[in-house]
Homo-oligomer: A and B are copies of this chain.
Amino acid sequence: MPGTLDLDAALQYVRAHRDRHLQELREFLGIASVSAISSHAGDVRQAAQWLKHRLLSAGFSTVRVEETGGHPVVVATNPGHPDRPTVLVYGHYDVQPVDPLPAWRHPPFEPAIVDGALYARGASDDKGQVFMHVIAAEAWLRTGNELPVNLIFLLEGEEEIGSPHLGNYIASRQDLLRADLAVISDTPMYAEGVPAICYGLRGLAALELTVAGPKQDLHSGIFGGTVANPAHALATLIASLHDADQRVAVAGFYDDVDLPTPAERHAFAQLPFDDTAYQDEVGVPELAGEPGFSPLERTWIRPTVEVNGLWSGFSGEGQKTIIPASAHAKLTCRLVPHQDPVRVLDLLEAHLRAHCPKGVALTIARGEGAPGTVTPIDHPAVRSAEQAIRAVYGRPAAFIRMGGSIPVVVTLHDVLAMPTLLLGFALPNENFHAPNEHFHLDNFHRGAETVVRLWSLLAGWKREEGSQ
């Protein structure tokens, strides 16, 4: 039978240890766990070890650093109560690369507090939110309480490179990871002061193009005019991906895309959105995008094809009058629910091959992909989360979708039949994936309290279900 559940003691614990928790988070953020860059593999592993020790000190009885074939996962568990719900908290301790480094006002792995926000790579995406969950668990475990829910922490080190090994890991450890619900804090609030529950995510599909021309860079005077320039061919290919209206021009790309319901469009339209403030925030001369959709719709429910990087030839100081030997681009698509990543990559590949100019050789390397997802918003856990948010923030939660991708949501649903609650406390302008990433400490602390309350509210969920 469940023991004591003293919510006030747990909340008091979180408040009393703020300084220590903040210092610990700075230590965690100081580890340069960049998963995309192989020279940082040791740092990624160090972050996993750091988490293991911290979860043990939080009161978890078993913490494993498990091999996956790539960067490891960290899994923490406690002995479970059979009549309490089991909740899997997923997060990631790896971070995005930091370039361009000169754009950072503080070194990305030397956390700095400025105006109530903590600046560091990973502050909000996702180490800060992972640590928030560690605190919330500790608050129950170190105050003479029992945990109101059976917690499993699953923390991976490859989220920023598309989680190449996580699917296999989850499939191979289903007994360890089986739960009634997944909670993920890797999405933003809707806006400052507007906490949110996110019920939809876009998916992702990645590919890299290589356009090869001459076997080596050629003198553009001596050879210019007789061979196709790979940089021109690459530009032609990229330009062909969109029409003049910024719609994706790849045949079939929109085939499986659902139009929003009138109710959904109405709900989105009710959310506060200031075009001018948004434009100022991102710092563009004017907003752009697909005609017929609002900015929120463009990022939440419409798919994109986006160049993330391109390079060819000489980019140094001065002139180098060459025809480059090759040209390269990294592309990712953001997908909406019902778009199959494999089919989208098939369509893209067919389009690119059909549009490739003569005189060059095109190579396409596919990256990882994941479909978009939608979570039912009438799930009991969603209702509990809304209640916890209301108690901490004093206002109702917004129900939003998000343009980013969390492939694990798909895996947890497909492999473990688990619904996911997306409950994030970052702000949308906290520079995830960009220089000067940060996390507002007020939301860090409130987020921990919200999670403490959420576990308390979920304690009886399975008994309620059983009694129905």
Contact = CB atoms under 8 A, between A and B. Distances in A.
A225 B290 contact: yes
Nearest to A220: B306
A72 interface: no
Interface stretch (A168-176, A251-259, A307-315): A307-315
Interface stretch (A22-30, A109-117, A323-331, A457-465): A323-331
Given A221-B202, A225-B289, A299-B223, A320 B246 contact: no
B225 A302 contact: yes
Interface in A303-354: 304, 306-324, 327-330, 332, 334
A17 interface: no
Contacts of A334: 220-221, 224-225
30 contacts: A36-B320, A37-B317, A161-B318, A162-B319, A204-B321, A216-B283, A216-B436, A217-B433, A217-B435, A218-B282, A218-B434, A219-B404, A220-B304, A220-B308, A222-B403, A224-B334, A224-B403, A227-B289, A232-B238, A232-B239, A232-B241, A235-B236, A235-B238, A236-B239, A284-B359, A285-B361, A306-B321, A308-B319, A309-B312, A310-B312
Interface stretch (A4-12, A95-103, A441-449): A95-103
A227 B288 contact: yes
A359 B285 contact: yes
A215 interface: yes
A242 B236 CA distance: 10
A131 interface: no
Given A220-B332, A229-B307, A316 B99 contact: yes
A404 B222 contact: yes
A38 B317 CA distance: 8
Contacts of A283: 214-216
Interface residues of A, number: 103
B310 A310 contact: yes
Nearest to A208: B319
Overall SS of chain A's interface: loop
List of 8 A-B pairs having minimum Cβ-Cβ separation, nearest first: A215-B283, A221-B404, A36-B318, A235-B238, A225-B298, A309-B313, A288-B359, A309-B314
Interface in A363-413: 367-368, 402-405
Given A214-B282, A222-B432, 11 more contacts: A97-B318, A161-B319, A202-B221, A222-B428, A228-B284, A229-B307, A231-B329, A235-B239, A285-B360, A309-B314, A310-B310
A299 B226 contact: yes
Contact of A402 (B222, B237, B358): B222
Nearest to A103: B216
B320 A97 contact: yes
Interface in A27-61: 35-38
Contacts of A298: 225-226
A308 B332 contact: no
A219 B432 contact: yes
